[in-house]
Amino acid sequence: MAGASLLALLDDIATILDDVAVMTKVAAKKTAGVLGDDLALNAQQVAGVRAERELPVVWAVAIGSLKNKLILVPAALAISAFAPWTVLPLLMLGGLYLCFEGVEKLAHKWLHAADDAAEHDNNLAAMADETLDLAAFEADKIKGAIRTDFVLSAEIIVIALGTVADKPFSSQLVVLAGIGLLMTVGVYGLVAGIVKLDDVGAWLLTKPAAAAKAVGRVLLLAAPKLMKLLTIVGTAAMFMVGGSILVHGLPPVHHFIEHAASGAGALGWLVSLPLEMAVGVVAGGLALRVMQIVSKVRGKNGEH
């Protein structure tokens, strides 16, 4: 009997772990849409730091990211335990924020390209200034990156919580903690690799072998293009993930898109995905417009 009980216990543990693995995989897929933007933003945040200080800065931001998760994961678990009815509204807000951020990025790129170029030139000039306080400069970079990470981490944790909101507390804890750790290690490991690509390329150019020089040239050319690609993919992913969250939270819209996609059979996603992204773009545009109106009203009130 004892042996049978032990086997039954092991079977239960294996089943629980398998369920947790499946839930973690589902949560990871849903939060992956935030990662492209997370990577691009964090890589841009440490841009401008001198080469020998890039990895220490990335490490400092990664530690700050872990501290953010230590705040956000318990907060998410508390919400799920004591106010589970707020999970769906928070999920919808997270989806809307993703769409808003995506539209804001597009609007900023089209309307403020000159400002971005000027800011880039100012950063280069600051780095050339021998009187620059490097410790203060790095501290500002790190604080800014950690603030950015907090917002993105909150989005990731809320989306992950939405996938396990109806599961036992232990499963929620393992999935949220696992997602938080996985995303931190994955994102900042890749950020470290991205910011050092050009250094690796420059190092390979010093090698006598022709193959090493060729790889070095490819890396030097690829580094800035990779940053641009990450930004594009990250923005598209915001509308994909944010739009999907909003659609699933709006039954009439969800049923309409589901019906439209059903006619395409196995290729239904070619119909549903663009429609969900369109919902994300429209929702993000409306949110941006509302924020602009609120900002104008506040500005007028401030003048009085």
Query: If phi over 0 gives left and psi between -120 and 50 gives alpha, with beta otherwise, what is residue 217?
Result: alpha
The residue ranges of DSSP E strands in the chain, in sequence order, are: none
- Name the nearest CA neighbour of 24 among 169, 179, 244, 155: 179
The residue ranges of DSSP E strands in 127-256, in sequence order, are: none
**Contact call for residues 235 and 105 (beta carbons, < 8 A):** yes
- pTM strictly above 0.85: no
208 CB contacts (<8 Å, ≥6 apart)? none
Q: Which residue's entry shows tokens 């294996």?
A: 14
- Longest pairwise C-alpha distance within the chain: 81
**Alpha-carbon span 23 to 31, nearest angstrom:** 12
DSSP, collapsed to helix, strand or coil, labels residue 209 as: coil
pLDDT of 51 = 60
The separation between CA 231 and the C-alpha centre of its own chain, rounded to angstroms, equals 11
Task: Give backbone dihedrals phi and psi of 127, rounded to 5 degrees, phi first.
Answer: -65, -30
Identity of residue 145: A
- The DSSP H or E segment spanning 36 is helix 2-45
Q: What are the helix and strand counts (H, E) for the chain? A: 10, 0
Q: What are the per-10-residue average pLDDT scores of the chain (304 residues)?
A: 42 42 49 53 57 74 89 90 86 85 82 55 52 66 77 79 82 85 80 77 84 84 76 78 86 89 81 90 92 82 61
pLDDT of 122 = 56
Q: Which CA distances in Å does 27 have to 194, 274, 291?
A: 25, 22, 30
Structural tokens at position 163: 């996938």
| Domain-wise residue ranges, the chain | 2-303
pLDDT of 67 = 92
**Alpha-carbon span 275 to 253, nearest angstrom:** 10
pLDDT of 295 = 83
Q: Which residue's entry shows tokens 């929620």?
A: 172
Give CA angle at 202 (196, 206), nearest 5°.
140
Structural tokens at position 254: 């969800």
**Alpha-carbon span 55 to 195, nearest angstrom:** 8
Structural tokens at position 246: 């909003």
> How many Cα atoms within 13 Å fall on the side-chain side of residue 97?
15
50 CB contacts (<8 Å, ≥6 apart)? 127, 134
Q: Which residue's entry shows tokens 């220490």?
A: 56
Structural tokens at position 115: 């400002």
